Structure 1
Amino acid sequence: MTENWTEQHVPDQTGRTAVVTGANTGLGFETARVLAERGATVVLAVRDVEKGKRAADRIAGEVLVQELDLTSLDSVREAAASLRAAHPRLDLLINNAGVMYTPRLTTRDGFELQFGTNHLGHFALTGLLLERLLPVPGSRVVTVSSTGHRIQAAIHFDDLHWERSYSRAGAYGQSKLANLMFTYELQRRLAAHGATAAVAAHPGMSNTELARNTPAAIRVPVTWLAPVLTQPATMGALPTLRAATDPAALGGQYYGPGGRGEVKGHPRVVASSPQSHDAEVQRRLWDVSERLTGVVFPV
């Protein structure tokens, strides 16, 4: 396996179509930029279309913008319908968008915001687009998780939306654990089809806007120490890019930075928590997610 893997290792993507959520800034922007520079047609699936257009103007290549608000299942369905109509085939779906450590808020459908955005919105989008990926050789669904999946690591089926008590970190950890469990269960279901793979990635500690909701007592010192503690978004996007494009990547793998503690460094295959591999919980989460979103997968 290649050590010190960089964006220069991304193979030619000419003729491929990629959808990247949350691609107007940070990790999503860098992921979209590299894919477009390598020849892919890239769709920036973003909540703010004007910001998406400004981001597209900064990328060299064929870049399109699609409105997508992951906090609204109606928006997810509308975006998926537009994407299906415009693209008879999809090669890459990169579930990158996310929120972190927000106050307790709900999506338009009443889901806790972090679980609803990070997991349920992407779950629904994937299910609605999967038929465009299934026939395409080498197609992949890449979902961005986090080392935060180890925070209070459990799926709280008795209180999924944190209505009894709320922990910003705990809710974030649940949503990122759900991202991994979704990937592993999706890969198990895709295995019989052969063409499409589900892969996960995490960016380590990257200097992006994601931490803007972190409480000030934590955010201020981390901001001062950012040059030491974090890596730039260009590096943080590499695990996602490797999961999406490395010919050697396999379904069910998880990529993250290779440095100490997976904080920084070049991407490699990393391990996720024991809880994330609980197949019974994965299946239960899948069933609950289909019921909550109303999206039933074709696998």
Structure 2
Amino acid sequence: MSGPSRPPSRSPARPPSQRLSQRLGRGLVRGLPLLWLALFFLVPFAVTLKISFSSPATAQPPYLPVLEWDGGLEGWREFFEALDFQNYQMIAADALYRDAALSSLSYAALATAILVLIGTPTAYAMARASARWQPILVALVIVPFWTSFLIRVYAWIAILKPEGLLNAGLLKLGLIAAPLPILDSPLGVLIGLTYAYLPFMVLPLYAVMSRLDPSLTEAAADLGASRARAFFTITLPLSLPGLAAGALLCFIPMVGEFIIPDLLGGSDTLMLGRVLWSEFFSNRDWPLASAVAVLLLILVVGPVVLFREAELRREEATR
């Protein structure tokens, strides 16, 4: 005969000081990223947006501000009265900026596609390697970050120039009869972009693929699927979040890239990064350059917003 049932035990109530400290801790964890974004994104963007509505001038700094932050309500009223979109209209009317934007997007999209083709099998091989070798392989991917980005790009000049290592090797093997004009060409830019941003594609993919359950591909093999079919029907679909993250990590900075097209692409390479540098430092037209920077931000934020919406829809579909 069983005894009387006992009421479920309740955990003792936490004191108010402990609850307050936990709330403060949660608020600090949530607030620090927002503070970081405000200081290093929103504030610089607000300054750039303000300059984009200004007029160029021979002064220091080289623009006439249309908004003074300490002007109060009167300053804001004068700002909206004098507001015009002359710099943005100039960008829309000049084919140079349109061509630069299309060229930047084309270079970034093509280089991202090449990175997907190279990074996916690389990450898959790293994820399928033994546990002993995986840290070594990850270290080999990260090692290039230990060297200055500028030095690594300069090294490609020695490799790609007509008398460089690549042409010398191809000539010695008899594969070409004359040096290839790779440096100061679109091909040189694509090679530089692919090399510089390959780790940003491999690491997110490896992080996702290394966590996949190997029993899924083993079950597919037991059911008669080849390795290639198991990869394309199981591994690759489950790795799409890492693939999308890697593509965004590569595509966004490549759109505004300046060093690689300047050093490996020559004077004929037209990209937004070079246009920005020219407007800021050669023409000293800060308002126009700021307007180009604002439009560049819009171009790179668009894919992030689309990716976020796709992720939300995917999460809703899996619930």
Q: TM-score, with normalisation over the residues of structure 1? A: 0.23
Whichever of the two has the greater Rg, that structure is 2
Higher helix share: 2
